Amino acid sequence: MNEMKKINLIVNDKTYQLEVDIRESLLDVLRNRLHFTGVKEGCSVGECGACTVLIDGVPTSSCIYLAVFADGKKIRTIEGLEKDGKLSKVQQNFIDEGAIQCGFCTPGIVMTTTALVESGNKFTDEEIKREISGHFCRCTGYQKIFDAVKKSLDDK
Amino acid sequence: MFSIKKIYQPITLAEALEIYTSNPQLKIIAGGTDVLISLHHGKLDDVELLSIKNLTELTGINYLTDGTIEIGTMTTFTEIFRNEIINKYIPILAEASVSMGGPQIRNNATIGGNICNGAVSADSAPTLFVLNADLRIVNNEGVRIVPITEFYAGPGKVKLQSGEILTHIIIKKADYKGMYGKYIKFSNRKAMDIAMLSVATLGKVKNNKFTDLRIALGVSAPTPIRCTKAESFAFNKTIKEELIKQISEKTLLNANPRHSWRGSKVYREHLIQVLTERALKEIITMSGGKWHE
Ligand SMILES: Cc1cc2nc3c(=O)[nH]c(=O)nc-3n(C[C@H](O)[C@H](O)[C@H](O)COP(=O)(O)OP(=O)(O)OC[C@H]3O[C@@H](n4cnc5c(N)ncnc54)[C@H](O)[C@@H]3O)c2cc1C
Ligand code: FES
Ligand code: FES
C-alpha cells in the first residue's frame, strides 16, 4: 500500500481537500482526480510547457511538481480564466490573432501570458520571446503566438 | 507516477538534519527538476525523499556588512536573475541564471540543486568557479566550508556525505569588487537546452594589463574546471589581440573535452578557444581596456 497524504488545494478559487498518493504529480491530480483536463500532458519531463499552471501566480510545469508540494497553494488553470461565460482578454487575443491551431499548447501559453500581464511589468520583444520560450508549439510557427502575447501586454 | 516510497517535508533546517541523520538513505529533493526527471526515467527508483522545499531559512540573498554575498541554496534561478544585489554586484551570475532552462524551469530550479546535481553542464558552475564561491555545508554536528572548485568529484558526483545539506553559497567582496565578468553558454537551441560548452571569465584590468583573470569552463572535462595555466600566463601582460589568442589557446592545457552526440571533441576544443576569446574581449571592453593598436 502506498503512502497517502492529505492536502488542501485551492484551484481556481475553490478549495479541495484531498488524499493524494505521494507518487503523484500535480498534473496527475489536476487531470485525473479533479478533471481539469485543460491542463495538458505533453512530454512529462518539463520540456514542452503544455502542463503549465500558475502556482501562487508563478508559471510552473505541473508534470515535474509533486502534488504534495502543492499543499495550501493557490493554483490557476485555464478553466479559471473565463468569467461569467466571457473569455479573459488574453484568451480572446489568442483567438483574434489566430494563435491557436490544434490548441494543445494553448492553455499553457495562455497561463504564462496571464502571469506576464498580471506582473504589471513591461517587456521588450526579446524579453517576450524569452518569457514564452518554455512552450513548444508544433503548429503555429510562433509568430502569431508572439503577436497575441504582445497584444495582451499592450492591452493593459 | 514517480517511484517514491516515502517523503519527509520538514519546515526547519534543524528538523531536516535530524531526520536525515537518522535516515541516511534519504534522497534530498529541492526544486525536483533533476530528481523527478531521474525518477521518470527510472534512474532513481523506490526512493525515500527528504524535501527541503519548505526550509525558508535556505531562501534569499543577503548582502553582509563586509560586502560578502550569501545566497541560500533554495533560491531559484528566477529569483537570482531578478535580484537587485546580484544585478548590482555580480551581474555575471544573473546572466548565467537566465541562460538555464526556460521560465517554468527557472521558477522552480534551485541554485543548490544545480550544484549538488554535479552536472558538467550546470549553468551556475563556471560562474561560481570564477567567483571562488565557498559552499556552506551543514550536518547534525556542525558546519564545514568548501570552495566550489574542490566540490566536484566527477560527472554527476559531488563531495557530499549522507546527512549533509548544502545551505549557502558565499561570495566574498574581494572576488567581485572591480571585476567584470561574462558568461557564454553555447547550445543548439537558445532556450530549454543544456550547454554543449560554456565559458565564464572574470577579470580586472589596470593600465591595459590583466591584474586578475579567471577563466572557467563547463562541459570541457569530467567536472567544471578553472583554466589555471591560461590565467597565470595572462597575469600582468599587456593586452593585445595576440595575447587574447594565446590565452585562449592555453585554456586547452587544462581542458579535456569529450566526444558526445551533442558535439565532438574537436568541435568542443574549437569552441573553447573561440568562446574564451569572445568573453575576454567583452570583459576587456567593460573594464575600459583595448586590444587593438
Ligand atoms: C526541461 C529542463 C531543462 C533544464 N535545463 C537546464 C539548463 O539549461 N542548465 C542547467 O544547468 N540545468 C538545466 N536543467 C537541470 C535542472 O533544472 C538544474 O540542475 C536545477 O538547478 C536543479 O535544481 P533543483 O532544485 O530542481 O534540484 P533537485 O532536482 O531537487 O536536486 C538535484 C540534486 O541535488 C541534490 N540537492 C538539491 N539541493 C540540495 C542541498 N541543498 N543540499 C544537498 N543536496 C541537494 C538532490 O539530492 C539531487 O541529487 C534542466 C532541467 C529540465 C527538466
Ligand atoms: S508535460 Fe510538463 S512540460 Fe511537457
Ligand atoms: S497550436 Fe498546436 S501545438 Fe500549438
Closest-CA distance of chain B to residue A71, Å: 11
Residues of chain B with CATH 3.30.465.10: 59-175
Task: Confirm or reject contact between A1 and chain B (CB < 8 A).
Answer: no
The three three-digit cell numbers of residue B165, written as one number: 545539506
Percentage above 70 pLDDT, chain B: 100
Contact A40, A19 (CB under 8 A): no
Q: Cα(B86)–Cα(B80) distance, rounded to whole angstroms?
A: 7
Residues of chain B with CATH 3.30.43: 4-51
- Give every CB contact of residue B227 below 8 A, 6+ residues apart in sequence: B215, B216, B217, B250, B251, B253, B254, B255, B276
The three three-digit cell numbers of residue B145, written as one number: 566550508
Q: Cα(B100)–Cα(B118) distance, rounded to whole angstroms?
A: 15
- Per-residue confidence (pLDDT) for residue B180, from 0 to 100: 98
- Per-residue confidence (pLDDT) for residue B292, from 0 to 100: 83
Find the closest chain B residue to A131 by CA distance.
B103
Q: Cα(A20)–Cα(A4) distance, rounded to whole angstroms?
A: 5
Count the neighbouring beta carbons within 10 Å of the beta carbon of residue A39: 26
- Per-residue confidence (pLDDT) for residue A156, from 0 to 100: 60
Contact B224, B218 (CB under 8 A): yes
What is the separation, in whole angstroms, between the first and last Cα of chain A?
A: 51
Task: Confirm or reject contact between B51 and chain A (CB < 8 A).
Answer: yes
pLDDT tens digits, residue range B72-130?
999 999 999 999 999 999 999 999 999 999 999 999 999 999 999 999 999 999 999 99
Find the closest chain A residue to B3 by CA distance.
A23
pLDDT tens digits, residue range A58-92?
999 999 999 999 999 999 999 999 999 999 999 99
Residue A139 CA to ligand 3 center (angstroms) comes to 4
ipTM: 0.96
Chain-wide mean pLDDT for chain B? 97
- A44 to B33: CB separation less than 8 angstroms, yes or no: no
Mean pLDDT of B252-256: 97
- B104 to A134: CB separation less than 8 angstroms, yes or no: yes
Q: Cα(B166)–Cα(B58) distance, rounded to whole angstroms?
A: 9
Percentage above 90 pLDDT, chain B: 96
- Per-residue confidence (pLDDT) for residue A1, from 0 to 100: 58
Superfamily of domain B180-286: CO dehydrogenase flavoprotein, C-terminal domain (3.30.390.50)
Contact B188, B194 (CB under 8 A): no
pLDDT tens digits, residue range B198-232?
999 999 999 999 999 999 999 999 999 999 999 99
> Which B-chain residues 80-99 have CB contacts (< 8 A) with chain A?
98
Residue A38, pLDDT above cutoff 90: yes
Residue B290, pLDDT above cutoff 90: yes
**Residue type (1 letter), B18:** E
**Residue type (1 letter), B124:** S
| pLDDT band at residue B262 using 50, 70 and 90 as cut-offs | confident
Mean pLDDT of B232-259: 97
Domains annotated for chain A, with CATH where assigned, are: 4-78 (3.10.20.30), 89-154 (1.10.150.120)
Q: Cα(B236)–Cα(B228) distance, rounded to whole angstroms?
A: 15
Task: Confirm or reject contact between B32 and chain A (CB < 8 A).
Answer: yes
Residue A109 CA to ligand 2 center (angstroms) comes to 12
Task: Confirm or reject contact between A24 and chain B (CB < 8 A).
Answer: yes
- Give every CB contact of residue B230 below 8 A, 6+ residues apart in sequence: B215, B247, B248, B250, B251, B253, B254, B276
Q: Cα(A12)–Cα(A77) distance, rounded to whole angstroms?
A: 7
Handedness of CA B181, B214, B58, A5 (dihedral sign): positive
Q: Is B292 exposed, middle or buried (0-12, 13-18, 19+ CB in 10 A)?
A: exposed
Residue B21, pLDDT above cutoff 70: yes
Residues from chain B contacting residue A132 (CB–CB below 8 Å): 103
- Per-residue confidence (pLDDT) for residue B190, from 0 to 100: 82
Residues from chain B contacting residue A66 (CB–CB below 8 Å): 2, 4, 7, 29, 32, 36, 51
Nearest by CB: A133 against B5, B107, B192: B192
Residues from chain B contacting residue A3 (CB–CB below 8 Å): 5-7
Task: Confirm or reject contact between B288 and chain A (CB < 8 A).
Answer: no
Q: Cα(A104)–Cα(A62) distance, rounded to whole angstroms?
A: 15
Mean pLDDT of A148-154: 97
Residue A35, pLDDT above cutoff 80: yes
Residues of chain B with CATH 3.30.390.50: 180-286
Residues from chain A contacting residue B35 (CB–CB below 8 Å): none
- B33 to A64: CB separation less than 8 angstroms, yes or no: yes
Q: Cα(B67)–Cα(B62) distance, rounded to whole angstroms?
A: 10
**Residue type (1 letter), B22:** S
Task: Confirm or reject contact between B104 and chain A (CB < 8 A).
Answer: yes
Counting ligands in written order, the one closest to the CA of A94 is 3
Mutate to test the interface with A, among B8, B104, B110 (most CBs of A within 10 A): B104
Q: In sequence order, what E strands does chain B have? A: 4-8, 27-29, 47-51, 61-63, 69-72, 134-138, 143-147, 152-154, 157-158, 165-171, 180-186, 197-206, 209-218, 225-226
Find the closest chain B residue to A58 by CA distance.
B107
Residues from chain A contacting residue B4 (CB–CB below 8 Å): 22-23, 66
CATH of domain B4-51: 3.30.43
> Going by CATH, does the domain composed of B59-175 fall within 3.30.465.10?
yes
